[in-house]
Every structure is written in structure tokens, then in C-alpha cells.
Amino acid sequence: MSAEIDHLHTDILILGSGGAGLFAALHAHQSNPELDITVAVKGLLGKCGCTRMVQGGYNVALAPGDSVERHFMDTINGGKWLPDQDLAWTLVERAQERVRELENEVGCFFDRNPDGSVHQKAFAGQTFDRTVHKGDLTGIEIIGRLAEQVWAAGIHRLEEHRALALIPAANSDRLSGVLMTDVRTGKLVFVQARATLLATGGGPTMYRYHTPSGDKSCDGMAMALRAGLPLRDMEMVQFHPTGLLAGNDTRMTGTVLEEGLRGAGGHLLNGEGQRFMLQHDERGERATRDIVSRGIFHEIREGRGTPKGGVYISMSHLGSDKVRQQFKGMVERCADSGFDLAAGQVEVVPTAHYMMGGVIFKPDCTTEMPGLFAAGEDTGGVHGANRLGGNGVANSTVFGGIAGDSMAAWLAEGQQSHAPDTETLEAAARDALLPLENEPGSLLEIQQALHALMWDKAGILRTKERLESAAVELEALDDRLARTGLHDAESLAFNLTWHDWLNLRNQILVSRTIVQAALSRENSRGAHYREDYPDTGDLETSYYTVTELDGTGSIQVHNRDVQFKRIAPGESLLEDEDSGALAASGQ
Ligand SMILES: Cc1cc2nc3c(=O)[nH]c(=O)nc-3n(C[C@H](O)[C@H](O)[C@H](O)COP(=O)(O)OP(=O)(O)OC[C@H]3O[C@@H](n4cnc5c(N)ncnc54)[C@H](O)[C@@H]3O)c2cc1C
């Protein structure tokens, strides 16, 4: 039986309305206002995704004394020499142009110094205070203004439309368009486009504790894998050390308590009331995110956790009035969940925050598949083994804008629309509707099993044994999901159970790439820590992992050498090696 599929046509199809998607739409429109541009998004435009959640800010070298070279060095050092140097250079160089565009064209207002210059605050891992911000609601300012510009430009919107599969053109390796479903009606729709941008924003939501928005389930990476595209650096998942631990029944669990709390002198205490971070690093609680996350995980694993399974953050020794004044937003967030941050103790746990890995792409945002472009958190290579706080939103807006320019330029060359390969299209539709044919089962149990195994076996501390066990469990979960149906399958209109099934299918596939890449990397770099291989490995012979889905459905991993094009380990682009200000805040 073949499912009914509506057809739409557009020149440029953009998947996702975060910083990457919206900037791409605006740039493509500016390049050629005659183009028919459509932004298709799983949620509501301007209201979903992680760019809107950005609190801390945006890294860019603007101030006298700072430079793109310095920002570049920080990015390469922070990424433990694994970033693609052309991508990292593009990020730091074009961030200067993009932040001016945000203020002067898009209409954002960032905080300023008394002399009128843009205020830039300190973030962890940076040798200069370069993080531009709007209080601690930077993302709302950026996405709010960008969404207004997109509406004003007359760009088409397909809101609450979920991309399901990338469909190649008939008899060709190029992309024809994207199979989607209209979440409101449950109908399938194929959007054929001359150029398509993947900007669905990654998001490590397969871990028990995570920070990203609920609409993210690694859909872009999963679609890319199924379309035969390679992903890189998938073992590199960044954990933020202090996620709020407020119980299983609230979405507040996992949300970030900012690093400024530790920077200001906050203490982490185990369930027995003892400080433990000084045993792991002489900087104690002010050590970098990866070290603090490992220290916390170690305490929990050794049975010294709190009743809910985390540790405590304690600020009261700094003076409760001072804490209330300095961290008003954090105090209120904790109070909403029943904790007194200023005078008491708050339970926290490391929380999965960001995926450094993603689709392999070039500085002009092209991918290996003609017609498919990629930008933002769906892509890999910009950050290497670790992302600096403040480089995430810079990444999505810089490369989103470049993608818009590149797609318009590509179409200006005369690239035409290509009809889809109907067999692949129909197979993708059948695949999405698979749960309708199965006996109903518990998706919650599958989700909880996934969260537990990724947290316990493929999270902060990894070993061969635990990763191998995770791989076996993931295969079994995948099989189980494929046999599980929906309890409410009468209508697919706003059928969130169906979307849970689709989310899980993508999360399991991408989890398999994380586990296989983590197994293959037998050293410890940045966010990836192997207890059985604690050394970083030789910097000069650094390599990155590439994962692909083969024809049998297995994940293949191979390594490629990092090209030190602009700088090699031990060299510096800077005349002085003054390390400048190092701060302990960052998101
Ligand atoms: C709590 C939090 C705080 C952060 N703070 C900072 C910070 O201070 N500084 C910083 O630099 N970075 C920060 N980050 C990281 C930053 O938010 C991201 O790196 C960046 O914004 C990602 O942008 P994006 O456009 O790639 O994705 P997003 O902004 O996440 O947008 C993805 C879009 O894709 C849509 N989508 C998803 N799946 C589908 C699908 N199947 N079909 C159609 N649409 C789909 C989503 O609905 C959404 O519109 C933070 C992240 C979080 C979670």
C-alpha cells in the first residue's frame, strides 16, 4: 500500500528556525528577493530550538587588544586540536561581520559599556573578555528580532512541519527534496526544492539529563545518516556540570545553573556534605566543565550522591544577600523547584548540553550531497573535541548566513528542481508509518531505557566494556522500537505519541554513532573520556572519527587526519602569549 503524499515546490527549503535557519533565510532573500524561500520547522517559528534559550552570549573579537587570531587560538586550544581549522577560522572571522549585522540590520540591542561600546563579558576557556550579550536573555533578543525580519521579508513558513527524510532525485546522487509531515493534520507532504538547508540543531536529548529544547531529537543527523552522509566527531558530547536536579516529573530537571555560581566561589558537596573537587583538580570547582562533570559523576558512582542522585551546590557561605543580588535569575529558578540557592543547598547533576559532532560540511556550507547544505549544531568540525561557551550561537548565525549566500549563488548558476526517486520516497513514507502496523507498546519504557544506558555507559566516563554493552542494548532497543506500535493510532493529527516514536528512532540511531565513535577513539580528548585510555594521544598525529551507516544498517567508523593548515601544535598566531583574563562563566 502506498501512502498519500501531498507535493509542494519551493526554490529554497530551510529545515529549522534557529539562528542557522533564520539567518540563512534572510541572506538568501537579500541575495535574490525573487527566490521562493520556505522555512519548515517542527515547532513555531521564533518559539522553538536552542538559539532562543541562549542565556550567556555570543563570542566575537571586537575590543581593542582582542583579535580574530586570539579567538581562533582559543577555539583550537579549547577543541583540543581537533577542529577543522578552515571552519574555525571562518567562525571567528565572520563573527565580527555577523554581530554588526545583528545590531545594525536585524535590530538587536546588546548591553553596552558607559562609553557606548558593546559590553563583552568573560567566559571560560577564553584569553579575552569577548562574549557579547543582552543581560542573560541573549537568545530571545536574537531570535525575536530575526523572526520579525523573516516575517517582514515575506518568507514562507511551514510551521509545525516535521522533516522525516531526505529524498534523492531519480537516477542521481543529488537531493530532490524532503519528506515531511504536517504535525497538525498528520498528513505527509513532499517538499521539492532546488536547494535545501539542514539546520535542525542536533541536541543530545538521548541522555537522562539534558539541556536542549524538547523539539530536538537529532533529526537532522539521523536523516543525513540514512541519506548516506558521513558524520564526524560523534563521540564528542559536551556535559554542563550543574544541571538542576528537581525530580523526574519536571522538565526543570537538567536545565542549566550557570557556571558563574562556581566562578563566584560556590562549593560542590557530595551527599555526605564533603567538598570533593579539590581531589580532582587544584582549581576545585573552578576547573573546566569536563573535569568538574567527571568529578561529580565519580562521586555519584561511588555511592556518595544526594537522595535524587546528584550532588549539592552550596552558595550560602558567600552571604545570602549577595547571592540573591548577584544571581537573581538563578535564585528564582531554584525557588520555582523548591530550592533555596541563596541560603540552602541545591541538588545538581551534569547534564548533556551540546554535540560537537555532526554532518561533515565545508566552510561554504556545502555537503557531500549536491543540493544539500548544512549549518549550525547539525554540523561537525567547527569545535573539535569541545565547544567554548559563546561559540555555539556564533556558529549557527555565522554559518547560517553563509549557507543563505551559498544557496542563492548555487541557484544563480541555474540549478534546477529535480523530481524525487519515487521508490525511496514511498519507502521513507512506509518507514515513518511503521508503528501503525504494530501492536501497541510502551514508548516510555524504551525512552527510559535509552536515557539510562546512554547516561550510565556512554556518558561522562567511558570504558570499552560499558560501551560494548551499550552497543548491544541499543541494537535491542532499536529492534524493540521497530516492533512497537502506538496506543492512539486512530488519527495522526497532533499525535504526539507518533512523534515520540519518530524521536526515539532518530535518537537511537544517533546514539549508535556516539557509541561506535567512542569505542573507536582509544584516547581521551576534550569531552570524550575513556577510563581505560586516559591519555590525550599525540597532538601532532591528531585524527577525527567519521561515522557512516552502511547498506546493511551497521555503523562504520574510520579515522581521518586533522590538517594543521593554519597552525600546528606548539605554534602560536599571537605575538605575545599573555593568557589574559580567564573566567569561569559560560554556556
Ligand atoms: C540552555 C542552553 C543555553 C545555551 N547558551 C548558549 C550561550 O550562552 N552561548 C552559545 O554560544 N551557545 C549556547 N547554547 C548553544 C546554542 O543554543 C546552540 O549552539 C545554537 O543556538 C544552535 O543553533 P541552531 O540554529 O543550529 O539550532 P536551534 O536553534 O536549536 O534550532 C533548531 C531548529 O530546528 C527545528 N527542528 C528540529 N527538528 C526538526 C525537524 N525534524 N523538522 C523541522 N524542523 C526541525 C527546531 O524546532 C528548531 O527550530 C545554549 C544551549 C542551551 C540548550
Mean pLDDT of 336-361: 96
Q: Tell me: pLDDT of 587 over 70.
A: no
Q: Tell me: pLDDT of 562 over 90.
A: yes
Mean pLDDT of 45-70: 94
Quick one: pLDDT at residue 431?
97
Quick one: pLDDT at residue 585?
40
Maximum distance among all Cα pairs of the chain, rounded to whole angstroms: 69
Quick one: pLDDT at residue 576?
63
Q: Tell me: pLDDT of 143 over 60.
A: yes
Residue of 37, 33, 32 whose CA lies nearest to 409: 32
Out of 197, 503, 587, mutate this one to test ligand 1's pocket (max ligand atoms within 8 Å of CB): namely 587
- Three-class SS state of 267: strand
Q: All 3 cell numbers of residue 252? A: 526543570
Residue 116 to residue 234: CA distance in whole angstroms: 42
Quick one: pLDDT at residue 582?
38
Mean pLDDT of 355-377: 98
C-alpha angle with apex 101: 383 to 93, nearest 5 degrees?
A: 35
Q: Is 240 a known active-site residue?
A: yes
Catalytic residue among 27, 94, 262, 505: 262
Q: Is 430 a known active-site residue?
A: no
Whether ligand 1 lies within 6 angstroms of the CB of 492 is answered as: no
Q: Tell me: pLDDT of 284 over 80.
A: yes
Let me know: does 156 contact 38? Beta carbons within 8 Å: yes
What percent of the chain has a predicted confidence (pLDDT) above 90? 87
Q: Is 141 exposed, middle or buried (0-12, 13-18, 19+ CB in 10 A)?
A: buried
Whether ligand 1 lies within 6 angstroms of the CB of 376 is answered as: yes
Q: Tell me: pLDDT of 124 over 60.
A: yes
Amino acid at 454: M
- Provide the pLDDT confidence category of residue 2 given band limits of 50, 70 and 90: low
pLDDT digits (tens, 9 = 90+) for 222-252: 999 999 999 999 999 999 999 999 988 888 8
Q: Tell me: pLDDT of 580 over 80.
A: no
Q: Tell me: pLDDT of 551 over 50.
A: yes
Residue 233 to residue 377: CA distance in whole angstroms: 12
pLDDT digits (tens, 9 = 90+) for 73-114: 999 999 999 999 999 999 999 999 999 999 999 999 999 999
Ligand 1 centre from 418 Cα, in Å? 30
Give 358's strand partners: 232
Which strands form 237-244's sheet, in the order they lie side by side? 237-244, 345-355, 311-314, 267-269
| Residue 317 burial (CB count, 10 A) | 10
CA distances 540 to 84, 216, 543, Å, are: 14, 36, 9
- Provide the pLDDT confidence category of residue 578 given band limits of 50, 70 and 90: low
Residue 525 to residue 87: CA distance in whole angstroms: 19
Contacts of 121 (CB under 8 A, 6+ apart): 57, 129, 131, 133, 583, 585
Ligand 1 centre from 182 Cα, in Å? 21
Q: Tell me: pLDDT of 581 over 60.
A: no
Identify the sign of the CA torsion 60, 61, 67, 70: negative
Residue 540: DSSP 8-state: T
Q: Tell me: pLDDT of 575 over 80.
A: no
End-to-end CA distance of the chain: 48
Quick one: pLDDT at residue 215?
95
Residue 37 to residue 185: CA distance in whole angstroms: 23
Distance of CA 335 to the CA centre of its chain: 28
Q: Tell me: pLDDT of 456 over 90.
A: yes
Distance of CA 198 to the CA centre of its chain: 13
**Which H or E run contains 354?**
strand 345-355
Ligand 1 centre from 200 Cα, in Å? 8
Mean pLDDT of 350-359: 97
Phi, psi of 158 (to 5 degrees): -115, 85
Mean pLDDT of 500-515: 98
Residue 228 to residue 247: CA distance in whole angstroms: 39
Q: Tell me: pLDDT of 330 over 70.
A: yes
Which strands form 58-59's sheet, in the order they lie side by side? 58-59, 131-132, 120-121
Let me know: does 315 contact 242? Beta carbons within 8 Å: no
pLDDT digits (tens, 9 = 90+) for 390-446: 999 999 999 999 999 999 999 999 999 999 999 999 999 999 999 999 999 999 999
Q: All 3 cell numbers of residue 371? A: 543540493
Ligand 1 centre from 395 Cα, in Å? 11
Let me know: does 133 contact 140? Beta carbons within 8 Å: no
**Which H or E run contains 145?**
helix 138-152
Please report where in the chains the cell 537511537 appears, as a residue: 508
Residue 253 to residue 337: CA distance in whole angstroms: 9
Report the chain's mean pLDDT, rounded to a whole number. Answer: 94
Whether ligand 1 lies within 6 angstroms of the CB of 126 is answered as: no
**Which H or E run contains 328?**
helix 328-336
| Paired sense of beta strands 231-232 and 237-244, if any | unpaired
Question: What is the 3 state secondary structure string of 420-465?
Answer: ECHHHHHHHHHHHCHHHHCCECCHHHHHHHHHHHHHHHCCCCECHH
What is the four-CA torsion angle of 302, 307, 310, 311, rounded to 10 degrees?
A: -90
Mean pLDDT of 147-169: 97
Q: Tell me: pLDDT of 1 over 60.
A: no
Catalytic residue among 70, 240, 286, 418: 240
CA distances 403 to 25, 398, 510, Å, are: 9, 9, 24
Out of 217, 393, 506, 585, mutate this one to test ligand 1's pocket (max ligand atoms within 8 Å of CB): namely 393
Instruction: State which ligand 1 atom lies nearest to the alpha carbon of 200.
Output: 34
Quick one: pLDDT at residue 289?
83
Q: All 3 cell numbers of residue 173? A: 546522487
- The more confidently predicted of residues 3 and 459 is 459
